[in-house]
Structure 1
Amino acid sequence: MLKLYDFELSGHAHRARLMLALLKLPYEKVTVNLAQGEHKQDDYRAINPFTQVPVLDDDGLVIRDSIAIITHLANRYAPEWNPQTVNEQAEIQQWLALAARTLAEGPARARLITVFGAQFDQATVIATSHQTLEIVNQLLNGKQWMVANKPTIADIACYSYIAHAPEGKVALDAYPNILAWLSNVEALDGFEGMQKTPLPPAV
């Protein structure tokens, strides 16, 4: 049985939940209460010394990174979600890199400020987010999905923090291609959304 160490408000954890939901894989959910510091306790440090969520335990294989988790799930259970042609892999890897760094430093960080009280310069983070989203919107022009003509792990990796960017005061109204792409992801059979927090005024 798959076991996911999870926290509902984590966009990283939502990536894993969304992939599991879309693949219709049964799993045991173990909630790690970050607000109460459970991720800092010795029991959880033994599972993930980096004290982060999510963690996936797949029959003893412990995976401690959200992008590694969705990649593993695709490779093991649904390879069509991670096509291996040279061109498609190059495109997928570019989107995964964007999810791991650029989105993390933009929309994800903006959300950390408003939802979790993180101490970043809000104006700078919001400006960085819009710079990134403008490029993503351009790259999605005329495309239903990020790679090829089908959903892949690239879409799952990027979805959560882009969809919830307004929670970090980052409005999406100016990005029609992004909005259409979000709708495509949300229309997938088995889609599972992330719990929303009250929206602050977006800019």
Structure 2
Amino acid sequence: MHRIIFATGNEGKMKEIRMILKDLDCQVLSMKEAGIEADIVEDGTTFEENAIIKAKAIMELSGNIVLADDSGLEVDAMDKAPGVYSARFMGEDTSYDIKNNYILEQLKGLPEEKRSARFVSVIACAFPDGRIFTTRGVFEGFIGDKISGENGFGYDPIFWVPEFGCTSAELPPEVKNAVSHRGKALGSMKEKLKEML
């Protein structure tokens, strides 16, 4: 059985990843489970660049197939911020409650059509033989007017999904995984991996 390391320490993310990749005949480990500790400087200017930087770095450390994702929230009224800086927005140790409240404050009073936003996720795969490829998923929606929902993490509680009439954090996990940016990017990646493994 192939062993794939997913370059993240985020447990919320690993839960989603395992659900989506469960029918792939692979053992999917987090960096922690693989016993890898690394501080990777993500200095790319695009989601693609950052995902590739992470995947390559962990592949070189481990000698395994490595998947890495870089994802973030683009808010149109904030000139697509926080974008690639989503995790480090307002400082890496700032809680998402503070970040989410800041974004809500920035958009206060704006009508829905001016609150458009999207989650973007790029998954990079690095093989020990040097092959690298990426897939991308986009999840369109709006910034809601309050924090709501317990199912997600990060910016999910302020991301309003009009077709479901709730925030991303209020969607059941299996629905979210079917429609989310990470779900779409991982779904495409899973198909590619099925061909290549």
Q: TM-score, normalised by structure 1?
A: 0.33
Question: TM-score scaled to structure 2, two decimals?
Answer: 0.34
Larger strand fraction of residues? 2
